[in-house]
Amino acid sequence: MTISQLSRFNDLMKKIISISLTEQEIEEYFILLKQWNDEYESRCRQKGLINASALIS
């Protein structure tokens, strides 16, 4: 993720905590969350921490 995406992700997390997200922001949050998760899993696979069969879809 880019720095701007991470920044936006953090902003959305703060809004979730305060329960002030719009419907559009909730959708945006889940898109960024999926992207973060995909990148995290990819890094873990590269480091040999997890394998593809261990991932839950």
- Give the pLDDT score at 51: 58
Q: What are phi and psi of 37, to 5 degrees?
A: -65, -45
Run of H or E including 17: helix 3-18
φ, ψ for residue 49, nearest 5 deg:
-80, -30
Model confidence band, residue 56 (pLDDT cutoffs 50, 70, 90): low
| Chain segment 13-49, per-residue pLDDT in tens | 888 777 777 889 888 888 988 998 888 888 887 777 6
